[in-house]
Amino acid sequence: MRILITGGAGFLGSHLAEHFLGQGHRVIVLDNFITGSIDNIKGLMPHPDFTLIKQDVTEYISAPGRLDAVFHFASPASPADYAQFPIQTLKAGALGTHKTLGLAKDKRAVYVLASTSEVYGDPLVSPQPESYWGNVNPIGPRGVYDEAKRFAEAMAMAYHRTHRVKVHIARIFNTYGPRMRKNDGRAVPNFITQALEGRPLTVYGRGRQTRSLCFVSDLVRGLDKLLHSGVASPVNLGNPDEHAIIDIARLIKRLAGSKSRIAFKPLPVDDPKVRRPDISLAIAKLRWRPVVPLEDGLKRTIDYFRRQASSYSSNESSPPGKNNLIT
């Protein structure tokens, strides 16, 4: 297959790109690098089946030749990032989804949308099944992401119903692993960085709010299954193993062998109190469920952050390869 991945230099996008190259497919990554990083894909750039297009997905986009699949994964995706880039976040979810659906329609490509558990907002139902319509504050600080993704889902379904585009909508729950940005502001990279640097782990509120963390390799496997499925309606992809944030902080501190203390900070506005996917649909239709235990995934992520810390200090100026770059 020839697969286009928007946001392919980001955390999830780069893992998808690596996965599909590994399966013998050709991959085109499109990214504007506002939150993506060349470091995430520099290992892939010399690959003969890899192409990078540096472009903003909210403008007119074109890709030369045939396309079999379009993955729309471009968007600032952490609360800190979408607070910093609120308009770009709305545009990536709204205009970017429109543009990429138009491309998929033209190319007769299968379309996979990165949606999110944020469509459920601060949920009043737990765990969250796909049938739950959510509890979103449209004008709060998180609204730019939540509403953009809700619009994106509506747009994908409209292209499916009107133009018969074969669409798949992944409602992605909290995912973690190597290549998360150290400063993206999310709980896992914050806690790991703080633990490794001996600084206090910043727990927001009392840390009683819950999240359910999925390791990135499990998520990528789920997305691959979704691509090959017959399901057009949204499918939750995430790990139902739910923990309080304070317990995740303590676990990371222990696994990192850190003596850091825990410092409590104010809870951000509209921070969801619980989050846990109901994955019955994914189990039934995709025959998928996550398999990586939290401790194993966290150890691998901590190792990555350790390696990054040592390579930044010893090898800061190595330039990325320039192969296959279209600007």
> Which residues are known to be catalytic?
145
Please give the helix or strand (H or E) that residue 50 lies within, else none: strand 50-54
Q: If residue 154 lies in a helix (H) or strand (E), which one and from where to where?
A: helix 143-163
- DSSP letter assigned to residue 260: P
Among 271, 300, 308, 309, binds ligand UDP (CB under 6 A): 271
Q: With the C-alpha atoms ordered 46, 48, 59, 57, is the resulting torsion angle positive or negative?
A: negative
Least distance to ligand UDP from the beta carbon of 202, Å? 4
Cα–Cα dist 135/61, whole Å: 33
Per-residue binding letters, 173-192, with ligand UDP (x by CB under 6 A): -x----------xxx--x--
Please state, in angstroms and rounded to a whole number, the distance separating the CA atoms of residues 213 and 203.
Answer: 16
Nearer to ligand UDP, 263 or 325 (CB): 263
Amino acid at 155: M
Contact (Cβ atoms closer than 8 angstroms) between residue 196 and residue 256: yes
Q: Which of 7, 36, 76, 79 binds ligand UDP (CB under 6 A)?
A: 79
**Residue written as token pair 């317990």:** 247
Q: Which residue lies nearer to ligand UDP by CB, 92 or 227?
A: 92
Compute φ and ψ for 128, nearest 5 degrees: -95, 115
Q: Measured from the CB of residue 205, what is the shortest distance to ligand UDP in angstroms?
A: 6
Closest distance between ligand UDP and the C-beta of residue 80, in Å?
Answer: 7
84: contact with ligand UDP by CB under 6 A: no
Q: Which residue has the tokens 């600032």?
A: 76
Residues numbered 242-261 forming contacts with ligand UDP, rule: CB under 6 A:
245
**Residue 268 found at the interface with ligand UDP (CB under 6 A):** yes
- Compare residues 50 and 215 and give the one whose CB is closer to ligand UDP: 215
> What x-and-dash track marks residues 189-228 binding ligand UDP by CB under 6 A?
-x-----------xxx--x-x-x-----------------
The least distance separating ligand UDP from the CB of residue 265, rounded to whole angstroms, comes to 7
Looking at beta carbons only, is 37 or 202 nearer to ligand UDP? 202
Tell the smallest beta-carbon distance from residue 291 to ligand UDP (Å). 22
Nearest approach in angstroms of CB 175 to ligand UDP is 10
For position 90 contacting ligand UDP by CB under 6 A, the verdict is no
What's the 3-state SS for 4-33?
EEECCCCHHHHHHHHHHHHCCCEEEEEECC
Nearer to ligand UDP, 128 or 209 (CB): 209
Residue 298 as a binder of ligand UDP (CB under 6 A): the answer is no
Residue 87 burial class via C-beta count within 10 angstroms: exposed 0-12, middle 13-18, buried 19 and up: exposed
Task: Select 185 or 321, whichever has its Cβ closest to ligand UDP.
Answer: 185
Full 3-state SS string of 90-120: HHHHCHHHHHHHHHHHHHCCEEEEEEEHHHH
Closer CB to ligand UDP, residue 96 or residue 238? 238
CA distances (Å), origin 224, targets 34, 63, 175, 207, 304: 26, 22, 16, 34, 24
As measured in angstroms, the least distance from the Cβ of 162 to ligand UDP is 32
Residue 128 near ligand UDP by CB under 6 A: no
Asked if residue 113 lies in contact with residue 72, where contact means CB atoms within 8 angstroms, the answer is: yes
Task: Give the interface with ligand UDP as residue ranges (CB under 6 A).
Answer: 78-79, 174, 185-187, 190, 202-204, 207, 209, 211, 245, 268, 271
